[in-house]
Amino acid sequence: MLRRFTSSLMIILAAGCTAAPKPVDTAADDRAIRAIDDAWNGYLASQNDSAIAAIYTADAILMPPNSPEVKGTDAIRQFWASLWPIKAELKLTVRDIAISGDLAVETGIYGLRIPGPDAASTINDNGKYIVAWRREGGTWKAVRDIYNSDNPPPPPAK
- pLDDT tens per residue across all 158 residues of the chain: 545 544 544 454 455 555 555 566 789 999 999 999 999 999 999 999 999 999 999 999 999 988 999 999 999 999 999 988 888 888 999 999 999 999 999 999 999 998 888 878 888 999 999 999 999 999 999 999 999 999 988 788 77
pLDDT score recorded for residue 12: 47
The reported pTM is 0.80
Q: What is the pLDDT of residue 9?
A: 40
139 vs 85: CA distance, rounded Å: 31
Q: For residues 103 and 134, is the Cβ–Cβ distance under 8 A?
A: yes
The set of residues, in sequence order, having a beta carbon less than 8 Å from that of 82 and lying 6+ positions away, is none
Backbone angles phi, psi at 44, to 5 degrees: -65, -45
Burial of 33 (0-12, 13-18, 19+ CB in 10 A): buried
Query: What's the pLDDT score for residue 11?
Result: 52
Q: Is residue 49 within 8 Å of residue 75, measured between CB atoms?
A: no
pLDDT at 94: 96
For the chain, the farthest-separated pair of C-alpha atoms sits apart, in whole angstroms, at 92
Tell me the domains of the chain and their CATH numbers.
26-149 (3.10.450.50)
DSSP state, residue 85: G
Q: Report the distance separating Cα 14 and Cα 11, nearest Å.
A: 5
Indicate the residue type of 157: A
Q: Looking at residue 23, what is its pLDDT?
A: 60
